[in-house]
Amino acid sequence: MSISKMSFPERSLLFAKLASIAYNDNIKEVKKQVKDLGFTTVEFYNKAGAQAYRFQNAKDMVIACRGTEPTKFNDIAADLKTMPVRSETVSWVHRGFKAEVDELWPMVLEDITRTVNKDNKLWFCGHSLGAAMATIMTSRCYYEKSIQNPQELYTYGSPRVGFRGYVETLKTPHHRWKNNNDIVTTVPPSLLMFKHDGELHYLNAYGNVRKPTGWQLFKDKMRGLWMGIKRGQIDSFSDHSMTNYCAYLEMYASGKENSQS
């Protein structure tokens, strides 16, 4: 089945799994994992610490960007380079995120240009730093006349990527998932002019999809912090785990909910 024929919950789960798989360095394991998900071609992009995967079959190509790895200096350095810089397209973006994309973009663009056509749809996804990279790559596609526009962008625990002038020019439908108190979604701070892009999909403290606002949202965040304390965890950090995103979206795609809520 092509990705475009999946339901939204199914697509959200698929891209969460691919964003999670993107952390795996074992290509043999990765090929087996994505084969079970319907992909026959795997390519690993790796340059100067910036990393992403291309997963492909006869109908779809997915670029899954790898997120921050705490043991990799390059990733930490990229996250800390918060000073804005002129983007390749319009307005200003996070310097560190742009630098990571700059390393991989020539290789990714070459593969997209060569293989994507009207019968082969293009999608992007990523978690954490990988979410920011996927957002920037998606934006660049619109300024490349030789390739088709991406179908959709799915991000998980994404930081803010660019200034308002940048995010407002992003045309691809962007589904931005946030798990309760995920701390990475709060950086860089909005006081530095950085903004989020896309349609927010919120997972509450129990892992259920909700649209809380105002007092409801505040209560849910406090509930999540208290639940984390009882588990002996710092909720803001544990909520960033891709394992949790995948588990909650598995529940969402199956039509189930956590009965505790």
**According to the model, what pLDDT value does residue 69 have?**
52
**According to the model, what pLDDT value does residue 199 have?**
97
The β-bridge relationship of strands 60-65 and 84-86 is: unpaired
Q: Is the peptide bond before 188 cis (omega within 30 degrees of 0)?
A: yes
What is d(CA 137, CA 37) in angstroms, rounded to the nearest whole number?
23
**Backbone region of residue 221 per phi and psi (left: phi > 0; alpha: psi in -120 to 50; beta: other values):** alpha
Q: Is the peptide bond before 84 cis (omega within 30 degrees of 0)?
A: no
With a CB cutoff of 8 Å and minimum separation 6, the contacts of 243 are 20
Reported pTM: 0.94
At which residue do the structure tokens 């606002």 appear? 213
Q: Which class in CATH covers the domain with range 3-212+240-253?
A: alpha beta
**According to the model, what pLDDT value does residue 143 have?**
87
CA-nearest of 88, 34, 36 to 62 is: 34
What is d(CA 258, CA 261) in angstroms, rounded to the nearest whole number?
6
User: What phi, psi does 146 have (nearest 5°)?
Assistant: -85, -5
What does the pLDDT look like over 51-89, one tens digit per residue?
A: 999 999 999 999 999 987 544 444 334 455 678 899 988
177 three-class SS: strand
Handedness of CA 178, 144, 162, 106 (dihedral sign): positive
Instruction: Evaluate whether 253 touches 12 at the Cβ level (below 8 Å).
Output: yes
Taking the mean position of all CA atoms in its chain, how far away is CA 162?
15
At which residue do the structure tokens 């960007």 appear? 65
**According to the model, what pLDDT value does residue 261 have?**
56
Terminal alpha carbon distance of the chain: 34
Instruction: Evaluate whether 180 touches 240 at the Cβ level (below 8 Å).
Output: no
Cross-strand pairs, 127: 156
**According to the model, what pLDDT value does residue 235 have?**
87
**According to the model, what pLDDT value does residue 118 have?**
67
137 three-class SS: helix
Type of residue at 128? S
Handedness of CA 202, 227, 70, 183 (dihedral sign): positive
Residue stretches of the chain with pLDDT short of 50: 70-78
**According to the model, what pLDDT value does residue 98 have?**
95
The β-bridge relationship of strands 84-86 and 121-127 is: unpaired
